[in-house]
Amino acid sequence: MLSRSLFTTSIKRSAAARVASTRYASTKTLKETLQEVIPAKQEQLKKLKAEHSQAVIGDVKVENIIGGMRGLKAMLWESSVLDPSEGIRFHGLSIPDCQEKLTPAPGGKEIIAESMLWLLMTGQVPTTEQTRQLSKELAEKGELPAFVEQLLDSLPKTLHPMTQLGIGVAALNHDSAFQAAYEKGIKKSEYWTYAFDDCINLLARLPALAARIYRNVYKPGTELPKIDKELDLVGNYTRMLGFGDNQNMTEYLRLYIALHGDHEGGNASAHTAHLVGSTLADPYIAYSAALYALAGPLHGLANQEVLRWQQAMQKELGENVSHEQIKEYLWKTLKSGQVVPGYGHGVLRNPDPRFLALQQFCESRPELMESSTIQLVKKTSEVAPGVLMEHGKTKNPYPNVDATSGCVLYHYGLTEYKYYTVIFGVSRALGCITQLTWARALGLPLERPKSVSMGALEQLVKSSWPNVA
Ligand SMILES: CC(C)(COP(=O)(O)OP(=O)(O)OC[C@H]1O[C@@H](n2cnc3c(N)ncnc32)[C@H](O)[C@@H]1OP(=O)(O)O)[C@@H](O)C(=O)NCCC(=O)NCCS
């Protein structure tokens, strides 16, 4: 048996080797680039802790506690910031900035997952070589272990695809480098390197996992193509789903997956990944938990709900629907006590720039502009804000990204809307694995906020505001 010190030395050596081993040419790998940027961030955090730990940056109001913690600044998340009026920025870059600067796939125009991941992880815009190298690395690591394939194949076809995805992702932790290294005993400063390896393996395997679920549930008996080592992550995913011949669909999925990748840290899926990761559960377990947060209708499931709602409207009202008819349908939905899916947001107070980017995509494709479903989405977005304002409840009456995302998939032939959140699940991994890597690199602690009872809250109010009755 190895002595503890011998073992630690061998882990150290293998950690160094692991950083270098994924290099393909003279281009620095994502891991090598990360290794260079981590020390400055660690230093920044150290300084914040040493100099400003006790600085007060806001108040906690009763409304924060009973209102789902809205607006409470309570977690660190480096990769993106969501401004209520202007929307998301990834390390300072807006969506149009990213569309201009990030490398597309060969022959494509839209942002790809690899270049977005590089930006999220490092804060740097990758070169084309770096992006291609990452695509290659992901393609090489993308095969599923045989037991996971068997596990997925054994699940009932009636089990919701999101439940299946969570099961598959959790099962991948069988090969977790982080868990194995932790069990053997590694230093905290080395956590990130193993967590990063798991994160990359997880992302690499998501397309095969998600596509297998699609084939099992909706196209049983059809042949799932092998990973093409020359394709980017989403190019492979689209191909494995069976839509590889449709360049428009491939480009749409590239854009959709890159744009949905990260939306700062407080949303339910991102926050869940961070919370579970903070227990030092490995990235597979942490992301599996996040997927189940994504599976709720107020979060990721909204894209399937939008399509269901739009189709019900179309069925009831027929073709060539007028704005007045849509208005009436919207009121009917609201009066029956339901939310209008695809509208509103926990943070945003303007139209979602991701919605605008997807609308722009639609407007650049004549076949989409001719689609009655897409036309209905557009018309609805012209009427719904006025109705929701008059209704007077929602703080944001504008469309969010889900108002259109599923309808485009439907048009291109991916009509099984219960599957749509799975695609979101492939995408949201980009932000969550970035955080899971950085949380370990920065040594962030176990998350553990304080809860209070209503009685305790009343007492706290009385002691802070003695004159309140
Ligand atoms: C996204 C969402 C969950 C945000 O919730 P939130 O932060 O609580 O939003 P608000 O503070 O604006 O909600 C205030 C009220 O307006 C209602 N509201 C918000 N969006 C609404 C919508 N699209 N349709 C009808 N009512 C809505 C809320 O249900 C809430 O009502 P309540 O006081 O009776 O509970 C909410 O807007 C929603 O349910 N939207 C539809 C689902 C959706 O598209 N989700 C995807 C988000 S990317």
Q: Yes or no: say if 87 and 354 are a contact pair by the CB < 8 Å rule.
A: yes
Q: 376 with 437, same domain? A: no
Catalytic residue among 262, 282, 402, 411: 402
- Alpha-carbon gap, residue 112 to 98, rounded angstroms: 10
Nearest residue to 420 (alpha-carbon basis) of 271, 288, 304 = 304
Question: Among candidates 427, 422, 417, which has minimal Cα distance to 211?
Answer: 422
User: Using CA positions, which residue lies closest to atom 6 of ligand 1?
Assistant: 346
- Exposure pattern of 293-324 as b/e (b: 16+ CB <10 Å)? bbbeeebbbbbbbbbebbbebeeeeeeebeee
Give pLDDT tens digits for 252-281: 999 999 999 999 999 999 999 999 999 999
CATH label of the domain that carries residue 320: 1.10.230.10
- Ligand 1 pocket test: pick from 63, 303, 345, 421 the residue with the most ligand atoms within 8 Å of its Cβ: 345
In ligand 1, the atom with minimum distance to the C-alpha of 70 is 7
Range of lowest pLDDT (32-36, 149-153, 159-163, 294-298): 294-298
In a domain, 163, yes or no: yes
**What is the rounded average pLDDT of the residues 437-464?**
96
What is this structure's pTM?
0.91
Tell me, in angstroms, the distance from the centre of ligand 1 to residue 354's CA: 18
194 residue type, one letter: Y
Amino acid at 441: A
Mark whether 179 and 92 lie in a shared domain.
yes
The three-state secondary structure class of 399 is strand
- 166 and 209 co-located in one domain: yes
Residue 198 lies in a domain: yes
pLDDT, one tens digit per residue, over 83-125 is 999 999 999 999 999 999 999 999 999 999 999 999 999 999 9
What does the pLDDT average to over 363-384? 92
Nearest residue CA, atom 28 of ligand 1? 394
More confident residue, 378 or 17: 378
One domain, residues 336 and 257: no
* 132 and 226 in a common domain: yes
If you measure from the C-alpha of residue 41 to the centroid of ligand 1, how many angstroms do you get, rounded to a whole number? 36
Distance from residue 343's CA to the centre of ligand 1 (Å): 7
Residue 88 in 3-state DSSP? strand
Q: Which of 394, 398, 404, 428 to mutate to test the pocket of ligand 1 (most atoms within 8 A of CB)?
A: 394
Write out the residue range of the structural domain in which residue 84 sits.
38-45+69-299+416-447
Question: 427 and 380, same structural domain?
Answer: no
Give the nearest ligand 1 atom to 338 CA: 25
Cβ(340)–Cβ(334) below 8 Å: yes
243 and 126, same structural domain? yes
Whether residue 52 lies in the annotated active site: no
CB 111 within 8 A of CB 104: yes
Catalytic residue among 91, 263, 345, 411: 345
**What is the torsional sign of CA 273, 289, 212, 110?**
negative
Instruction: Report the DSSP pairing between strands 80-83 and 87-90.
Output: antiparallel
Looking at this protein, which amino acid is placed at residue 402?
D
Do residues 215 and 208 make contact, with C-beta atoms less than 8 angstroms apart? Answer: no
Same domain, 285 and 230: yes
Residues 218 and 307 in one domain: no
244/334 same-domain check = no
Residue 299 bears catalytic tag: yes
Instruction: Please say if the pLDDT value at position 334 is more than 60.
Output: yes
Residue 3 lies in a domain: no
Residue 243 to residue 219: CA distance in whole angstroms:
12
- The confidence band for 383, taking pLDDT boundaries of 50, 70 and 90, is very high
Q: Counting every residue, how long is the chain?
A: 469
Domain assignment of residue 452, yes or no = no
Q: Are 374 and 355 in contact (CB under 8 A)?
A: no
Q: Is it the case that residue 28 has pLDDT exceeding 90?
A: yes
Residue to probe by mutation, ligand 1, list 69, 304, 343, most atoms within 8 Å of CB: 343
21 belongs to a structural domain = no
From the CB of residue 364, how many other CB atoms can be counted at a distance below 10 Å?
12
**223 SS3 class:** coil
What residue spans of 348-453 are helical by DSSP H? Answer: 353-363, 366-369, 372-391, 402-411, 420-441
Residue 59 identity (one-letter amino acid)? D
Ligand 1 center–CA 344 separation, angstroms: 5
Could you tell me the distance, in angstroms and rounded to a whole number, from the CA of residue 403 to the centre of ligand 1? 13
Nearest CA to ligand 1 atom 44: 342
Is 153 a domain residue?
yes
Q: Which of 392, 421, 464 is closest to 160 using CA atoms?
A: 421
133: domain CATH number is 1.10.580.10
Return all residues near 354 (Cβ < 8 A) that are at least 6 apart: 87, 88, 95, 259, 260, 400, 401
413: which residues sit within 8 A by CB, 6+ positions away? 243, 246, 249
Measuring from each residue's beta carbon to the nearest atom of ligand 1, which residues come in under 6 Å? 298, 302, 334, 339-346, 393-396, 400, 402
What percentage of the chain carries pLDDT values higher than 90? 86
Within 8 A by CB and 6+ apart from 74, the residues are 449
How many structural domains does the chain have? Answer: 2
